[in-house]
Chains A and B, each alone.
Chain A
Amino acid sequence: DTGVSQNPRHKITKRGQNVTFRCDPISEHNRLYWYRQTLGQGPEFLTYFQNEAQLEKSRLLSDRFSAERPKGSFSTLEIQRTEQGDSAMYLCASSFYRGNYGYTFGSGTRLTVV
């Protein structure tokens, strides 16, 4: 296992379209996180899963956003009716539940809404 994998790396979509991103975490990690990063800013927390349970969602995650982690493995983040303000880098990270300190981030999916 070489790390956290995110697909696609880049996505250009028209405003109003739906998009879905995929994250494959490190297989031994049972926590999975989604963050969003805009230009010149640090990553901002969106949501996290412990195994298949989504335990917290940020108020940044409007009702157009939904995340799933079926069977506690890979995760998907879907954005419905995209808006230009959704343009950002969407980062996925994973970690152990305990005994380790620090996320492993993927390389992100760069979303551009035109």
Chain B
Amino acid sequence: QQQVKQSPQSLIVQKGGISIINCAYENTAFDYFPWYQQFPGKGPALLIAIRPDVSEKKEGRFTISFNKSAKQFSLHIMDSQPGDSATYFCAAPNSGGSNYKLTFGKGTLLTVNP
């Protein structure tokens, strides 16, 4: 069974600052680590994902950094904007093969002040 620990629980950042959210997992046999973004009243939406054969993936202002030996991956949001204010979840799969039975962290509530 996969375990995922996410920190911090909440984060307040000024506009233009860098937001960093961390995630640690236990089971190493998997190939896919996504981050989801959730706004109030909406379902989570896939933001960015990484496979463990690379150490970093960047999409616009969002970057995932992956440390396989430490079993950790983190989300960096550069030039944070008030529209980024949302809850962010990391996740890891419970079985070999993607798209199957994700275990989610407890979430990080990000507030970006204008």
Interface residues of A (CB under 8 A from B): 4, 31, 33, 40-45, 48, 56, 91, 93, 95-98, 100-108
- Chain B residues near A107: list those with CB within 8 A: 41-43
The 5 A-B residue pairs with the shortest CB-CB distance in the complex, in nearest-first order: A42-B104, A105-B43, A102-B46, A95-B99, A101-B98
Check A44 against B104 for contact (C-beta < 8 Å). yes
Question: Given that A101-B98, A106-B43, A107-B42 are contacting pairs, would A45 and B49 also be in contact in the complex, using a CB cutoff of 8 Å?
Answer: no
Interface residues of B (CB under 8 A from A): 4, 6, 32, 34, 36, 41-46, 49, 51, 89, 91, 94, 97-107
- Chain B residues near A33: list those with CB within 8 A: 101
| B21 nearest CB across to chain A (Å) | 13
Question: Given that A56-B101, A102-B99, A107-B41 are contacting pairs, would A40 and B107 also be in contact in the complex, using a CB cutoff of 8 Å?
Answer: yes
Q: How would you classify the secondary structure of chain B's contact residues: helix, strand, loop or mixed?
A: loop
Task: Tell me the total A-B contact number using a CB cutoff of 8 A.
Answer: 65
Check B43 against A102 for contact (C-beta < 8 Å). no
- Chain A residues near B51: list those with CB within 8 A: 101
Chosen A-B contacts, 11 in total, with CB atoms closer than 8 Å, are A42-B4, A42-B107, A43-B102, A56-B101, A97-B99, A98-B98, A98-B99, A101-B32, A101-B98, A105-B36, A105-B44
